[in-house]
Amino acid sequence: MNLFFSPLACSLASRIALYETQAPARFSQVDLKQKHVIGGGDFRAINAMGQVPALQLDDGTVITENTAVLQFIAAKAPEKNLAPVDTTARAQLQQWLGFIATELHKAVFVPLLDRQASDAVKEYARDKVANRLGVLEKHLSGREYLLEAFSIADAYLATILNWASATNVDLKQWPAVHAYHQRMLQRPTIARAVAEEFAMYREEQARQKA
Ligand SMILES: N[C@@H](CCC(=O)N[C@@H](CS)C(=O)NCC(=O)O)C(=O)O
């Protein structure tokens, strides 16, 4: 398997899931601005959307979209219990993956992070923060994880919450969300993935400035 990623982007969630499952995987860094794979290759030939994550299997099949990539990685290592199979728990997993992907990732954080988004777009996104994080605050109060145990939804949520400081979203306003994020950052697979990608992010920034 080969995970196409960009440092500290949403593809970090898939790296965390791969570390959790200990599946043998290669990691190919993508320059998202130029849409090329560092080391060579047009990334649009891998994913016509030009977006990470993209997971290329050994037979050449490419899986895209966070929710699909994460569920695929989890399904390859069922013994790690990263995605419950019980019908209700599975629906709840998909509920949270959908919430994170659409209500947080795309509706809130992408516009806030996008330097080209207009003030009106940013305001529209910022208006949604209190409601979305309020929903999470209520759910996470008294809970360790989104579901009964650590799952791919936690890998994804921890990844998205990493963007709060860069977008001036003060998680301390939602104490249970803040405590959850801090807890997730201490989980060894997440700590390792964040540390590795933070170093790559700094290198990427330096390259782009040079
Ligand atoms: N719908 C995609 C969105 C993925 C996405 O937004 N990836 C971002 C990085 S976090 C990206 O590649 N952005 C570059 C672009 O959209 O051109 C998914 O859920 O996987």
Say if ligand 1 is within 6 A of residue 84 CB.
no
Say if ligand 1 is within 6 A of residue 66 CB.
yes
What is the structure's pLDDT at 207?
86
What is the structure's pLDDT at 42?
97
Measured CA to CA, the distance from residue 179 to residue 14 in angstroms comes to 22
Pairing of the two strands 2-5 and 26-31: parallel
> Could you tell me the pTM of the whole model?
0.97
Structure tokens at 152: 């791919």
Q: pLDDT tens digit string along 145-164?
A: 999 999 999 999 999 999 99
The answer, yes or no, to whether residue 209 has pLDDT greater than 90, is no
Q: What mean pLDDT, rounded, does the chain reach?
A: 97
In this structure, what DSSP letter does residue 42 have? B
Per the listing, tokens 């919450």 go with 161
Say if ligand 1 is within 6 A of residue 113 CB.
no
- pLDDT band at residue 80 using 50, 70 and 90 as cut-offs: very high
Q: pLDDT tens digit string along 8-38?
A: 999 999 999 999 999 999 999 999 999 999 9
Choose among 1, 160, 16: nearest CA to 80.
16
Choose among 1, 5, 15: nearest CA to 190.
15
Q: pLDDT tens digit string along 40-79?
A: 899 999 999 999 999 999 999 999 999 999 999 999 999 9
Measured CA to CA, the distance from residue 174 to residue 177 in angstroms comes to 5
Give the residue whose CA is nearest to atom 12 of ligand 1.
Answer: 51
What is the structure's pLDDT at 68?
98
Give the residue whose CA is nearest to atom 18 of ligand 1.
Answer: 65
Structure tokens at 78: 């069922």
Q: Taking a C-beta distance cutoff of 8 angstroms, is the pair 167, 109 a contact?
A: yes
What is the structure's pLDDT at 66?
98
Say if ligand 1 is within 6 A of residue 101 CB.
yes
Distance 6 CA to ligand 1 centre (A): 10
- pLDDT band at residue 143 using 50, 70 and 90 as cut-offs: very high
Say if ligand 1 is within 6 A of residue 31 CB.
no
Choose among 9, 3, 4: nearest CA to 201.
9
Say if ligand 1 is within 6 A of residue 65 CB.
yes
Distance 101 CA to ligand 1 centre (A): 10
Say if ligand 1 is within 6 A of residue 13 CB.
no
